[in-house]
């Protein structure tokens, strides 16, 4: 009762990274609340899946194993979650802000009349004083996300209804194993008690998943370009440097909208969230929408001809100059010093 739940997505027997990130964050939040961390996995052939989640500090794992539950479809997963939550009465539920989470989260929160905050970038525990009602609420989930086009950071709370529900984008939270040898309780539920035959009215006959062309999210070095590069041709300089550094190329939304780079390389609030060891920002002004996707980088280098560019305030190193001047020199001297 009143524990913290994480819905774990699974694909081909592997728990999604975003779910493991949420388990990491969930463990720290559960410690703060002095409650249990519980995970829910719904799918097929789930034997042994506990080995993937238990090291993240899960106290109880709820398994729903049935060949009709995989691949994901809306109705049966919603029925399972709604009925489980009516029984367990969690205080918090976290899901990934993925295609599945964005479909399942609103359905569950609507059925439970609990409310939902989407695309959170941070989660914290804190108190709230309602001066009008003369009430003080303790241990609420602060659901933090950019709002109004990224111009402000909003903190959203749900004082009354439970569970407090939030979806979180992949890459926003760190993924860290709590204890390799941690063991918790595993419960196999009778699926037929949670779903009805009508939940399976939609059947997936065939599906095709296209693999990502790039691995920007997992790259240790990212060279990212903004609208300040001025043209698609200048973006080629970033690819030239990336080839030398064995890096990946990213882009701001403005650069993508201008047609300088493909959308699947977009970094920021409406794109990817990355945490590389080195992030080189070229011609990027540094609006909050972009910073939301890369500010956790270990080292940030800014290359910009505007000394007052906002990106410079978060950069570890600032190079003032144009990309056309700086990038060829970086390539030249890196090749020279790496021989």
CB atoms under 10 Å from CB of 208, counted, come to 4
Q: What is the largest CA-CA distance in the chain?
A: 70
Which DSSP helix (H) or strand (E) runs through 26? helix 17-33
Query: How high is the pLDDT of residue 1?
Result: 66
| 3-class DSSP assignment, residue 289 | helix
Query: How high is the pLDDT of residue 153?
Result: 80
Q: What is the C-alpha to C-alpha distance for residues 250 and 281, in angstroms, rounded to an integer?
A: 9
**Dihedral angle computed from the Cα positions of residues 267, 174, 319 and 234, in that order, rounded to the nearest 10 degrees:** -20
Query: How high is the pLDDT of residue 31?
Result: 92
Which residues 6+ apart lie within 8 Å of 218 measured at CB? none
Query: How high is the pLDDT of residue 60?
Result: 94
Tens of each residue's pLDDT in the chain, 339 residues: 689 999 999 988 899 999 999 999 999 999 999 999 999 999 998 988 999 999 999 999 999 999 999 999 999 999 999 999 999 999 999 999 999 999 999 999 999 999 899 988 889 998 888 888 788 888 899 998 877 766 678 888 888 888 999 999 888 888 889 888 888 899 999 999 999 889 888 888 877 776 667 778 888 999 999 998 888 888 898 999 999 888 999 999 889 998 898 888 999 877 888 889 999 999 998 887 788 888 889 999 999 988 888 899 899 999 998 888 889 888 888 887 766
Query: How high is the pLDDT of residue 43?
Result: 92
Both tokens of 60, joined, read 């109880």
Q: What is the C-alpha to C-alpha distance for residues 29 and 38, in angstroms, rounded to an integer?
A: 12
DSSP state of 266: B
**Dihedral angle computed from the Cα positions of residues 155, 157, 163 and 167, in that order, rounded to the nearest 10 degrees:** -20
**β-sheet bridge partners, residue 317:** 301
Query: How high is the pLDDT of residue 149?
Result: 63
CB atoms under 10 Å from CB of 87, counted, come to 12
Q: What is the C-alpha to C-alpha distance for residues 146 and 269, in angstroms, rounded to an integer?
A: 8
Q: What is the C-alpha to C-alpha distance for residues 43 and 53, in angstroms, rounded to an integer?
A: 15
| 3-class DSSP assignment, residue 242 | helix
Query: How high is the pLDDT of residue 279?
Result: 94
Query: How high is the pLDDT of residue 289?
Result: 79
Query: How high is the pLDDT of residue 96?
Result: 93
Query: How high is the pLDDT of residue 151?
Result: 67
H helix runs in 55-190, sequence order: 74-88, 99-112
Q: With beta carbons less than 8 A apart as the criterion, state whether 146 and 289 touch.
A: yes
Q: What is the C-alpha to C-alpha distance for residues 22 and 34, in angstroms, rounded to an integer?
A: 17
């Amino acid at each position: 009762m009143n524990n913290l739940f994480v819905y774990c997505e699974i694909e081909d027997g592997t728990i999604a990274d975003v779910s493991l990130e949420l388990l990491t964050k969930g463990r720290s939040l559960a410690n703060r609340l002095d409650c249990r961390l519980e995970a829910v996995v719904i799918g097929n052939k789930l034997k042994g899946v506990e080995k993937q989640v238990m090291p993240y500090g899960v106290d109880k794992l709820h398994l729903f194993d049935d060949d009709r539950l995989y691949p994901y479809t809306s109705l049966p997963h919603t029925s399972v979650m709604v009925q489980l939550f009516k029984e367990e009465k969690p205080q918090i539920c976290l899901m990934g802000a993925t295609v599945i989470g964005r479909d399942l989260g609103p359905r569950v929160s609507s059925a439970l009349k609990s409310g939902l905050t989407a695309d959170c970038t941070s989660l914290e525990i804190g108190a709230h004083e309602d001066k009008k009602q003369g009430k003080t609420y303790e241990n609420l989930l602060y659901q933090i996300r950019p709002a109004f086009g990224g111009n402000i950071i909003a903190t959203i709370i749900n004082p009354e209804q439970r569970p407090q529900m939030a979806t979180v984008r992949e890459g926003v939270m760190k993924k860290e194993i709590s204890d390799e040898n941690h063991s918790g309780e595993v419960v196999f539920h009778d699926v037929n008690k949670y779903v009805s035959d009508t939940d399976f009215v939609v059947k997936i006959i065939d599906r095709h998943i296209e693999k990502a062309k790039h691995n920007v999210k997992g790259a240790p070095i990212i060279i990212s370009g903004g609208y300040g590069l001025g043209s698609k041709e200048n973006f080629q300089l970033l690819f030239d440097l990336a080839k030398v550094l064995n890096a990946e190329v990213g882009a701001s939304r403005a650069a993508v909208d201008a047609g300088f780079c493909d959308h699947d390389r977009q970094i920021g609030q409406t794109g990817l969230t990355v945490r590389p060891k080195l992030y080189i920002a070229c011609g990027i002004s540094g609006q909050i929408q972009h910073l939301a996707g890369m500010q956790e980088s270990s080292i940030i280098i800014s290359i910009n001809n505007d000394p007052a560019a906002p990106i410079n305030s978060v950069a570890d190193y600032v190079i003032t100059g144009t990309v056309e001047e700086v990038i060829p020199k970086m390539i030249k001297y890196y090749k020279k010093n790496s021989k």
